[in-house]
Structure 1
Amino acid sequence: MTDTDDRWWSPARHADRRPLLLARNRIQAGLRLWLAEQGFTEVDPAGLQLSPGNETHLHAFATTQIGNDGVGRTRYLHTSPEFAMKKLLAAGETRIAAFAHVWRNRERGALHAPEFTMLEWYRADAPYEALFDDCMAFLRLAAEATGATRLRFREATCDPFAAPERLSVAEAFQRHAGIDLLATCDGAGGTDAAALSAQLARAGIRHDADDGWSDMLSRVLGESVEPHLGHGRVTILDRYPAPEAALARRAADDPRTAERFELYACGVELANGFGELTDPVEQRRRFEAEMVEKARRYGETYPIDEELLAALAIMPPASGIAMGFDRLVMLATGAPRIDDVLWAPPA
């Protein structure tokens, strides 16, 4: 065996991967056809942006753009095409979708690649629940394209043709961790880290003394909740606490929560959807708060895209969602690692 035999471009390794890659193409073709039939326009946002996004735990790749004047300016590879697509909604588009290459730093593993494909789509003047049906249609199309009756990740399986389970984050925390999450946040966006810490201690969930409220939420979600989601049937984890939904509208019936959901199948998070926030003043406040936390946690911040805030002022009400396309292919083909379904995996 030579050193090249297990590299993705070795003939033997490629022969093993090729059926998965051809399945990827069939899935993508099926989704494109469905989107076109539903009246979506496919768009192609540029990857190089002024701001890569303003969420605390998203990490971007930075580069230097040298202008005609010879001056270098920091630019970023986008972590999502979201900002550009919202500007297109402001411009007058009403149903748009993109298969976008995106880049996220500090992410590498079986389910993560530093460069991957995100399927992102938006519906103007539509409730965010409409995205639930879109997601289920995509899962079924992916299964049909591969002849699968169930989605699979390692030992976990899920029936994409069964009706999904819809579960609020608060319900999930109570059910799987015995935590009353909403008792630790208020309708103005405030959180009570001490109260959540006390609940974690009573539940026997390990956490660090300097963990903030968001850190503890992420710990419980990752360790106690997510492993139970999307088994047997899809789970729609809905109504995130408002402090964990920087880009979403608050829920009309409970301002402690927001119109944000995540889609899970086989314990794998596949998509993140929102009833989009269009108030530029509130959006600026949330971005600034996220960057304060990012500076505290990671010692860096990203610029705020002022053109996005200007666009939000004229953007129509809309719902939008991002789905990890490569992960969808993984589950439809049963591939154990994301690199198995990328034509040319990043280094």
Structure 2
Amino acid sequence: MKIDTQIWTDIDFDKDGKQLGTLNAPQSFNWAGWANVFIPIAVVKNGTGPTALLCGGNHGDEYEGQVTLLKLVRELDPAQVQGRLIILPMLNRPAAQAGMRLSPVDGRNMNRAFPGQRNDTLTGLIAHYVAHALLPLADLVIDIHSGGRTLQFLPSVNMHNLANKTQFDEMVRAAKSWGAPYVFIYEDVAGEGLLPSYAESLGKITLGTEMGSASQFSAGILRLVEDGLHNVLRLYGILPGEPTPPPTGQQVVAAPERDDYLMAPVSGIFEPLLEMGDPVSAGQPVGQIYSTELPFQPPTPVIARTDGILFGRCGFPLTQQGACVATIVRPVEIG
């Protein structure tokens, strides 16, 4: 299928074996009028079977997916695979190289750029290629995220609540197979244009994650990301074997209301008053913010507006007015 895109690659998506290459996106810089930005891509294919699109580095300050997918590419033997894996370990490579959430080239958020346009800034060009060249090939889409520099979360696999019950139920089944403590159903409170949202709209079985992190990860979190990814690929027969059973006490939780996402009322230093996983009641302070301009005035409380569990909070103490500093979820029954 011919795709009208400015990005090109030497990868043959129908060829068996392991191919390592780049997506080449045209770009001009002050230091190079004619240049390409190289986005690393690997394709591992063997025979017939499902296709999984695996993405890391959608945000450059989220490292769990980048490390996990780079390791997967290095270790995979094509003979282990039944089907095809398309792997983008650093989807927003300029952001990954800079350790930033947004691209330093155009200041854009890759996870708000979908489906992109043929004539777009760099971030939109990459989103357009993924949306129109790669997503149509995929049966399963996994976009690995964590909290990055500014947020931290209880480890979860996440998705949106969908009107298509068959698709949604299958996504929940896949999410549970990952083996994370939580399956998180969330709302888009920070804008549209997400890769997972677009993939879901195409009917793809789509999973995201939130694994940590305040831009740090432990061996335990990396193990959960790696083992969980293998579990899902086993579930669909792309890798051999059976998924390990999910942990006892695994919960499906949701934050369906805007009031579940608490934004900083003022700028300053955020002091948490609860640990993640603690129960929360509406009207209860979850933290307080100390002004850096007026340091001796009383701190401003951040008050919960809903009941539930503290699921996420700001990962870096110095925060700005309007930044999300806490997320509250509630257990839900699916079925």
Question: Does TM-score exceed 0.5, indicating one fold?
Answer: no
Structure richer in strand, relative to its length: 2
How does the TM-score come out when normalised to structure 1? 0.24
How does the TM-score come out when normalised to structure 2? 0.25
Tell me which of the two structures has the higher relative contact order, counting C-alpha pairs closer than 8 angstroms and 6 or more residues apart: 1
Structure richer in helix, relative to its length: 1
